[in-house]
Amino acid sequence: MAAVDSFYLLYREIARSCNCYVEALALVGAWYTARKSITVICDFYSLIRLHFVPRLVSRADLIKQYGRWAVVSGATDGIGRAYAEELASRGLSIILISQNQEKLQMVAKDIADTYKVETDIIVADFSNGREIYDPIREALKDRDIGILVNNVAVFYPYPQYFTQVTEDKLWDIINVNIAAASLMVHIVLPGMVERKKGAVVTISSGSCCKPTPQLAAFSASKAYLDHFSRALQYEYASKGIFVQSLIPFCIATHMTAPGSFLHKCSWLVPSPKVYAHHAVSTLGISKRTTGYWSHSIQIGSQSDCSSPWTLILWCQWSVGLSCLG
C-alpha cells in the first residue's frame, strides 16, 4: 500500500512539473495525427484513381496510343503470357519471345485463335547472353512496335546465402534479369522515338524496394530494373514514350510455390490473368506501380513497420520463400 501511495505521489509531482509541456505535446500529437490522416487520404485517393477508375471508364485505345505490335519477353507462362493475352484482347498483335519453340507455337496459336489477332514468335534463350540479340534485332526490324514488355526473369530455386548460389545462376540472373531488358529496350526504343510514340513496361518486383536477404542477387537485379525504368522515363517522356516500372508482389505463378496456400488467397496473391488485367489498365497512367490494388496497399504500408499490412506482407513473403525451399 505504501508503495502505491508513493507511486501516486510521485506521479502527481511529475504531472505538476510537466504541466507546462502538456499543451506543446498536444500540439505535436495533433500535428502528427493530421499529417498521418492526410497521407492516408491521399493514398486512398491514388488507389481508387489508379486501380478502380480506369477499369470503370471506357478502355484506352492502345493501338492508337502506342502502335499495332506488342513484344513480350518470357511470354509462354505466368505473367508474361497473361499480359500478352490481355494486350491481344485489346486488339494488339503480339510477338512472343521465349526459349521453348513448341510452347511458343502453342501459346501463339492459342492467342491468335482466341483474340483474332496476328501473332509471331521469336525463339531466344536470354541466358545465352550477347549472341541472341542480333537475330532478335533482325526479326523486329520494320515492325511498328508500340509496346515492349520486359517480363522475363529467373529466380532462385530457394532462398540461399549468396556464396551458396551457383556461378551459373548468377550469370543467368545477370543475363536474363538485367541484360535482356536493357538490350530489348536498346533494340525497340529508336523506332518508338522515330514514331514519337510507344510504351516500355518492365516487370520488376516488390523485392526491389528493400534489400532482401537470401535473395541478394535477385532483389538487386530487380532494383536495377526499377531504377533503369524510372531513369528512362525521365529521358524519354518528352519524346512521346511512356515508360512504366511494374513492381508486383506475389502472383500465383510457377515462380511462387504452386500448391501452397498462398495461391488460394486470391485477393493478396492474384492469378496472372487477374493481375495482367489490372496492370494493363494502369498503362499510360502510372510510371511506377505495383499494378494491383492490394499490392499497392502493401507497398504503402511498408514505411510503417508497425501496421498490420506490413505483418501480412512479411508473413506472405516468409511463407512464400519457405514454400520455395
Ligand X SMILES: NC(=O)c1ccc[n+]([C@@H]2O[C@H](COP(=O)([O-])OP(=O)(O)OC[C@H]3O[C@@H](n4cnc5c(N)ncnc54)[C@H](OP(=O)(O)O)[C@@H]3O)[C@@H](O)[C@H]2O)c1
Contacts with ligand X, residue ranges (CB under 6 A): 74-80, 98-100, 103, 124-127, 151-154, 176, 203, 205, 248, 250-251, 253-256
DSSP state of 123: E
- Give min distance, CB of 299 to ligand X, in A: 12
- Give min distance, CB of 307 to ligand X, in A: 21
Return the closest-CA partner of residue 289 out of 170, 224, 176, 204. Answer: 204
Which residue, 50 or 72, is less far from ligand X as judged by CB?
72
Measured between alpha carbons, how far apart are the two ends of the chain, in Å? 57
Residue 125: Cβ within 10 Å count: 13
- Give min distance, CB of 126 to ligand X, in A: 4
For residue 158, which phi and psi values (nearest 5 degrees)?
Answer: -165, 160
- Give min distance, CB of 223 to ligand X, in A: 12
- Give min distance, CB of 162 to ligand X, in A: 18
Which residue, 23 or 131, is less far from ligand X as judged by CB?
131
| Contact of 177 with 156, CB cutoff 8 Å | no
Which residue, 65 or 99, is less far from ligand X as judged by CB?
99
**Cell numbers 477499369: residue:** 55
Angle between helices 272-281 and 78-89 (to 10 degrees): 50
Cell numbers representing residue 269 in the block: 496473391
Alpha carbons 30 and 107: distance in angstroms, whole number: 57
Please identify the residue of the shown chain whose CB is closest to the bound ligand X: 78
For residue 242, which phi and psi values (nearest 5 degrees)?
Answer: -105, 125
- Give min distance, CB of 311 to ligand X, in A: 19
Which residue, 175 or 281, is less far from ligand X as judged by CB?
175
Which residue, 49 or 254, is less far from ligand X as judged by CB?
254
69-73/119-123 β-pairing: unpaired
Alpha carbons 122 and 179: distance in angstroms, whole number: 17
Which residue, 74 or 300, is less far from ligand X as judged by CB?
74
- Give min distance, CB of 145 to ligand X, in A: 18
Burial 240-266 (b: 16+ CB within 10 A, else e): ebbbbbbbbbbbbbebbbeebebbebe
Which residue, 103 or 197, is less far from ligand X as judged by CB?
103
In terms of C-beta density within 10 A (0-12 exposed, 13-18 middle, 19 or more buried), how is residue 174 classed?
middle
